[in-house]
Amino acid sequence: MTDLLAPVAASSLAEQARAALGKRNLVFVGLMGAGKSVIGKMVAQALSIPFVDTDGEIEKVSRMTIAELFASYGEPEFRALEARVIDRLLKGGPRVISTGGGAFINDNTRRLIKQGGISVWLKADLDVLWERVNKRDHRPLLKTENPKATLENLMNHRYPIYAEADLTVYSGNVRKETMVTNVLSAVVELAEKGQGK
Ligand SMILES: Nc1ncnc2c1ncn2[C@@H]1O[C@H](COP(=O)(O)OP(=O)(O)O)[C@@H](O)[C@H]1O
Ligand SMILES: O=C(O)C1=C[C@@H](OP(=O)(O)O)[C@@H](O)[C@H](O)C1
Ligand SMILES: [Mg+2]
């Protein structure tokens, strides 16, 4: 009997989270490999609202890959474009917006996100992140002699800033579906606490 009831409980959690969100955006932040792109898309599906990944949107408007943008124009230009894209996307809520790892670190972009949505930091340990990112080589910031040490340096610098997000959800070695449930529960809890903006 419990199994038969489980899908009902799951859908009502999504409905509660959707109601809690209203017209606001749900914005995923966190380091490379935390699961922003993958979990963000699944959360949007659960909430039945549109999903957009800012890196994907940047690649679409620039007709270049992120790696090409970094190589041709450098990180400051990429950050300026990222800020403009995020500013535009935040205006069309409700949406789930998965940002690239550096977006929330940029003062201007962070301010825009704080104004335009509920931010969720997917927080993960170094070994989990490393395990996930070292399987692919499309992230320009990790093209260094010791990418794991680079990731650790980024962690040390960025974690206090990610901590400013409205919600923190731990992204450990748990199933993606469990991550989705944990994010939805955190959104509902925030609303219940009366702290939803
Ligand atoms: N909870 C999870 N369990 C297993 N693999 C995961 C989990 N979360 C993310 N991943 C995997 O880690 C990799 C990085 O995820 P991604 O969403 O691209 O991270 P980000 O956008 O934060 O850099 C992908 O291959 C994704 O499938
Ligand atoms: O951490 C960062 O500064 C970056 C993270 C990347 O996105 P993911 O976090 O989705 O990998 C991408 O935006 C770019 O390579 C820069
Ligand atoms: Mg991503």
Strand ranges (E), the chain: 25-29, 51-53, 96-98, 117-123, 167-170
Residue 136: predicted pLDDT:
87
* pLDDT tens, position by position, 17-59: 999 999 999 999 999 999 999 999 999 999 999 999 999 999 9
User: Is the peptide bond between 94 and the residue preceding it cis, with omega within 30 degrees of 0?
Assistant: yes
Q: Which residue is listed with tokens 């400013």? A: 164
Residue 10: predicted pLDDT:
54
Give the C-alpha distances (Å, rounded to integers) separating 77 from 26, 62, 194. Answer: 25, 12, 38
pLDDT surpasses 90 at 176: yes
Does ligand 1 have an atom closer than 6 angstroms to the CB of 94?
no
135: annotated binding-site residue?
A: no
Q: Whose CA is nearest to atom 1 of ligand 2?
A: 101
pLDDT surpasses 60 at 2: no
Distance CA 185, CA 125 (A): 21
Does ligand 2 have an atom closer than 6 angstroms to the CB of 32?
yes
* pLDDT tens, position by position, 54-74: 999 999 999 999 999 999 999
Q: Which atom of ligand 2 is nearest to the CA of 33?
A: 11
Domain at 17-190, CATH homologous superfamily: P-loop containing nucleotide triphosphate hydrolases (3.40.50.300)
Residue 92: predicted pLDDT:
87
101: annotated binding-site residue?
A: yes
CA of 194 to the centre of ligand 1 (A): 31
Does ligand 2 have an atom closer than 6 angstroms to the CB of 141?
yes
pLDDT surpasses 90 at 4: no
Residues 106-132, buried b or exposed e (16+ Cβ, 10 A)?
beebbebbbebbbbbbbbbebebbbeb
Look up residue 22 and give its two tokens. 């209203």
For 186, phi and psi rounded to 5 degrees?
Answer: -65, -40
Residue 9: predicted pLDDT:
58
- Return the domain boundaries, the chain: 17-190
Does ligand 2 have an atom closer than 6 angstroms to the CB of 101?
yes
- Going by C-alpha positions, the residue among 89, 26, 17, 21 that lies closest to residue 46 is 17
Mean of all residue pLDDT scores within the chain: 93
Residue 5: predicted pLDDT:
58
CA of 133 to the centre of ligand 2 (A): 11
**ipTM greater than cut 0.90:** yes
Selected residue with higher pLDDT from 181 and 138 = 181
